[in-house]
Amino acid sequence: MKRQGESVTDKKVFKIENIMDSAAPTPNGSGSGSGGGSGGNFIDELNLPPTVADFLTIWYRHLLAGLVLLLVVILGWVFSQQYISGRENRASEQLSVAMGANDSLVRVAALNELIAKYPRTGAGLWGRIELAHQAREAGEMASAVQAYEELLPTLSRLDPRRPMVQLSLAQALVELKRYDQAAAVYLELETIVGFEAWGLLGSGDMLARRGDMDAAWEKYRQVVAMENVARLLRAQALQRLR
């Protein structure tokens, strides 16, 4: 019989306070029900197989702690991804605004602000590349070369932007008459898929400057013989062979 003043709701197994009361172990290892029952706990009232009930009685606190930790890790990962995604989006928007500026001084200032604010984002890296291009277009070849050389260690060999930066570096080195350094960059470009023709053409030019015309013409002939080579590069190679 239920005690006077005690409602049916008070006796529900899954009411939070009843669960916590019944889950608390007693000195003899069993929990005491909130209604002063015969020593069973909420696990007993689930009617589980004895082996499962014994396991949960011993380990449920550890399992609960593990679930809480897992939830914290998942939520932390979700929030961190949202934060990173938000930064990338804001950086991309700022890069778009910077590249849309008609005045070169305004563009450079906006790119510098982008790099300072979002240095580790993809847009921040593009901003550094664009600043190097801006220096080259302005005739500041030494600054451009320095910028390209600082960029290369930050780009993996699988990054599609790396050969583009290498090609720009080689061309800027030629402008500075640093032909030996340019030749080394062109040789590496010869081995990169999609940039082989650029590397061969540049290597040929460096050999021609040294007076090694036979080796230079061999490089040009390789460009002409390549399939799917850009028309401009093939035309340049043919012109050098004449």
Task: Read off the pLDDT of each residue in 41-48 and give the average, rounded to a whole number.
Answer: 68
**Main-chain phi, psi angles of 178, to 5 degrees:** -100, 70
Q: What is the DSSP string of 17-73?
A: HHHHHHHSBPTTS-B--TT--SS--TTGGGT--HHHHHHHHHHHHHHHHHHHHHHHH
CA angle 135, 140, 143 (to 5 degrees): 75
Give me the phi and psi of 225, to 5 degrees please.
Answer: -80, -10
Mean pLDDT, the chain, integer: 82
User: pLDDT (tens digit, 9 = 90+) per residue, 105-155?
Assistant: 898 899 999 999 988 788 999 999 999 999 999 999 999 999 999 999 999
Please state, in angstroms and rounded to a whole number, the distance separating the CA atoms of residues 127 and 154. Answer: 13
pLDDT per residue over 164-209, tens digit each? Answer: 999 999 999 999 999 999 999 999 999 999 999 999 999 999 999 9
- Measured in degrees and rounded to the nearest 5, phi and psi for residue 217 equal -65, -35
Amino acid at 111: L
Q: How far is CA 120 from CA 66, 87, 88, 95, in A?
A: 34, 10, 9, 13
Instruction: Give the pLDDT score at 45.
Output: 67
pLDDT beyond 70 at 23: no
Four-CA torsion 169, 171, 177, 182, nearest 10 degrees: 60
Its pTM stands at 0.65
